[in-house]
Structures are given as structure tokens and as C-alpha cells.
């Protein structure tokens, strides 16, 4: 299984309804991409001041690397990804992606 973790440094002007719309659209990808096991999103609640502004996070669990690879190039993901980049401070510099293989 691949866990695809995405940390966001959203612009201060991004409203909660807009953020929830992005997360809802991401969650909807499980209906069009076979092999998405789970989707979760949340806001940083750490008491440690180390987030460097990356205070919003979402992740997908993919059945395997092939599903992750299909997700990356899927037109629906790319469209949502463009909206996310536009919502982040510094565009793509406001997005941090990390994939880890889980047992």
C-alpha cells in the first residue's frame, strides 16, 4: 500500500467552504479511480511550532504504486491539483508531497 501525503500552506484568504470543496472533490476521486483505499484530510493541531505554515494536510491510501501512478496522471486529479496549487501560498511552493510504502 502507498500512503500519499500532501501538506498545504494555504493562502490566508482561502475560506473554509472552499477548502472543504477541494477536500470533497479529492474524496470523490475514489469513485473514478479504482484502488483508492482511503482518503483523509485535516488541520494541524500540534502544539509544536514546526509546521512552517504547512497547516493543512490530506492523504490517500492507494492499493499499490500502480494506483498512485494512475491517480497522478488522471485528468480529474490534475484539475483538482491545479485548484489546490492556486489556493496555496507561492503556488507549487506551498505544496509538499511525500509518498511512503506501508506494509
pLDDT value at residue 40: 98
CA 31, distance to chain mean position in Å, is: 16
Provide the whole-model pTM: 0.95
Joined grid coordinates for residue 16: 473554509
CA 3, distance to chain mean position in Å, is: 11
CA atoms of 89 and 9, how far apart (whole Å): 6
CA atoms of 61 and 67, how far apart (whole Å): 10
Domains and CATH numbers, the chain: 2-101 (3.30.70.100)
CA atoms of 48 and 71, how far apart (whole Å): 33
> Tens place of pLDDT for every residue, the chain, 103 residues?
999 999 999 999 999 999 999 999 999 999 999 999 999 999 999 999 999 999 999 999 999 999 999 999 999 999 999 999 999 999 999 999 999 999 9
Amino acid at each position: 500500500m502507498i500512503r500519499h501525503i500532501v501538506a498545504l500552506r494555504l493562502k490566508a484568504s482561502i475560506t473554509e467552504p472552499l477548502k472543504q470543496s477541494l477536500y470533497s472533490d479529492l474524496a470523490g476521486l475514489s469513485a473514478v479511480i479504482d484502488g483508492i483505499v482511503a482518503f483523509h484530510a485535516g488541520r494541524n493541531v500540534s502544539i509544536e511550532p514546526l509546521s512552517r505554515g504547512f497547516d493543512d494536510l490530506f492523504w490517500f491510501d492507494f492499493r499499490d504504486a500502480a494506483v498512485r501512478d494512475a491517480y497522478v496522471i488522471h485528468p480529474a486529479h490534475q484539475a483538482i491539483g491545479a485548484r489546490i496549487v492556486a489556493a496555496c501560498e507561492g503556488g507549487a511552493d506551498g505544496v509538499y508531497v511525500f509518498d511512503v510504502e506501508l506494509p
